[in-house]
Structure 1
Amino acid sequence: MTLTKNNIADAIQEGLGIHRRHSIEIVEILLEIIKRNLESGEDVLVSGFGKFCVRDKKPRLGRNPATGDSMMLDGRKVVTFKCSSVLRDRVNQMAE
């Protein structure tokens, strides 16, 4: 099952015993803070979970799948995620 914003809001509501509207606001505010920092090029480090980083990709030669023609793709920024060793260990324990 995929974890959604609604699932997270439900878990916050149950965990803190607050109104659902407030738990949804908490999730939205948290995600907005993360987005703003990534937009400005800053990394987001969540201890025990992982690190979101903005990386620059250089322009590269690509191919139009419809025509097969070569074309130059512009450089762009991408967001990467590197999980912490704590998270990696927990995921690997579940696999055993």
Structure 2
Amino acid sequence: MRARLLRIEGRVQGVGYRDWMLHEAERLGLQGWVRNRADGSVQALVAGEEGAVQAMLTACRRGPLMARIDRIEEVLAEPPDEPGFRKLPNG
């Protein structure tokens, strides 16, 4: 299992990005979480088979219809302890 910690910058809050990401992660069979950050970015941990993780990264660069993605920081991470994909409280 491969895992990436993402920080997504741009117009990503108030446009349904977290709900969209939750749907995409479930569709791809990924584990992890997503949350809004106080600085206006979205942070996410995505884990799963490498092909599914790469598909999610590609999708994150597009985002939902009203989003504008300016930058995505990506670092290798440890997979989550819990199964499934969920929204976390803002952090």
The normalised TM-score by structure 1 is: 0.22
Bigger relative contact order, structure 1 or 2 (CA pairs below 8 A, ≥6 apart): 2
Structure 1 or 2, whichever has the larger Rg, is 1
The structure whose residues are more often strand, as a share, is 2
The structure whose residues are more often helix, as a share, is 1
